[in-house]
Amino acid sequence: MPNLTLVKTSEEFRLAVGLEKDKLVVVRFYATWCKACKAVAPYYRRLALQNPGVKFINVPVSGDNIDLHQGLGVPSLPYGHIYHPEVGMTEEMKISRRHFGKFARTVKTYVEGQCDVDDVILSNVEEANSVKRM
């Protein structure tokens, strides 16, 4: 898959993510021994297939790149980052199966260029505005 790349070292990560100035970059940090990471792999691959204009990166944890995971503050696995070409990292979150839907929706908002605003947030804003008018 041309938009899904395996990155194993800090230097490869810098080249794949840090120097990308045109495309949104989505990163999955995982371990080959991690059951939750294995469970989410097909969902991540499908997300990459559905978004060919986005660069997807897989970063497995290993003895050679543990400093990369620690340096980026990856607290658990599987974990995801989203990098916007103009501003760098904009999102980071857990991406286990339980959390993957939220991650996929977040990627979609960047791809489509619009944010979904929760109905609860909208109703709170409307309530606040009506109180101000009184």
Catalytic positions are 34, 37
In angstroms and rounded to an integer, the radius of gyration of the C-alpha atoms of the chain is: 17
Q: In a 3-state reduction of DSSP, which class is residue 107?
A: helix
DSSP state of 77: S
Q: How far is the C-alpha of 64 from the C-alpha of 82, rounded, in Å?
A: 23
Q: In a 3-state reduction of DSSP, which class is residue 3?
A: coil
